[in-house]
Amino acid sequence: MLLVGPPGTGKSMLAQRLPGLLPPLTIEEILAVASIASIAAKPSAEIASTRRPFRAPHHTASVVALVGGGSRPRPGEISLAHLGVLFLDELPEFQRSALEALREPLESGVVTVARAHETAQFPASFQLVAAMNPCPCGYLGDGSGRCHCSKIRLDHYRSRLSGPLLDRFDLQVELSRVPLARMAGPATDGGSAAAARSVGEARERQLTRRGTLNARLPDRALWQELPLDRDGRRLLNRAAERWRLSARSCTRILKVARTIGDLADAPDVTMPHVAEAIQLRCLERLL
């Protein structure tokens, strides 16, 4: 997930809440997380918890610190975030080489660190949440007129993120400032506990249906077996043509649509699910 919005819109807070919405680690998962922490020589207080890991390395982190390596290969932040959340705030400020090194593990869920004499493989199946400002000053599009970033500065800022990296964000969400009047009003949803329950139920539906989560479904199986109605298919085709979406994007949209359906306990994927999934990739058209 990529969160784009001016400073103070709660991007970091939302990312920090995500581990709490995911189900607790199973015994086997706790052991996996603890083993990685122990190889990385992390203090034991941080390990053996049922809460999913949350790692938020600073944008000055080196490639080795982020993906792992060293003369005696050690796991990096992406492995310490295994089965949990890796949060990269100020995404365009990270070294480009470090960001590009994330692409492979994001697909495979493992990272291979090769040195002169040995090769090590560490698990790195994590949820990537990144945040960025809409422009270098942060105020573009907030209605205040405070942003005076030039087109060249804006292009330079956004060009730090490659197309293939952006393509890997299934949810690209724009956040805007919440008016004070709404913040002072009563909360309208059921809160974190209700959200966590609904996430747990949606995951159960996926595991019951195919024995794996939607994100891990093989692409071919998805296209062949997914019950997608005619209108949904037509909408996806039209969006693909209009925004020249890659095959990867279309597959990811379909997986998100299936998940939106699972959250609503819908047996089939229909047009509204596809429409919402396309909307959640909106930045592909903006950036």
Residues that bind Zn ion (CB under 5 A): 135, 137, 140, 147, 149
> What minimum distance in Å lies between the beta carbon of 158 and Zn ion?
12
Nearest CA among 34, 215, 35 for reference residue 125: 215
> What minimum distance in Å lies between the beta carbon of 149 and Zn ion?
3
Q: Which is nearer to Zn ion, 135 or 228 (CB)?
A: 135
> What minimum distance in Å lies between the beta carbon of 148 and Zn ion?
7
H helices, E strands: number in the chain: 15, 9
Packed helices 247-263 and 191-210: angle between N→C axes, nearest 10 degrees? 110
**80 Cβ contact partners less than 8 Å away, ≥ 6 residues apart:** 36, 37, 40, 42, 53, 55
Separation between Cα atoms, residue 29 and residue 46, nearest integer Å = 14
Q: Which is nearer to Zn ion, 93 or 229 (CB)?
A: 93
Q: Which is nearer to Zn ion, 158 or 209 (CB)?
A: 158
> What minimum distance in Å lies between the beta carbon of 139 and Zn ion?
5
CA distances from 58 to 46, 83, 87, 91, 92 (A): 19, 20, 9, 10, 12
> What minimum distance in Å lies between the beta carbon of 155 and Zn ion?
12
Q: Which is nearer to Zn ion, 123 or 134 (CB)?
A: 134
Q: How far is CA 261 from the centre of its chain?
A: 19
Q: Which is nearer to Zn ion, 60 or 150 (CB)?
A: 150
Q: Tokens standing for 197?
A: 């329950």
Is there a contact between 74 and 68 (Cβ–Cβ < 8 Å)?
yes
Separation between Cα atoms, residue 278 and residue 250, nearest integer Å = 9
> What minimum distance in Å lies between the beta carbon of 154 and Zn ion?
7
Residue whose structure tokens are 């949820």: 127
Q: Which is nearer to Zn ion, 135 or 239 (CB)?
A: 135
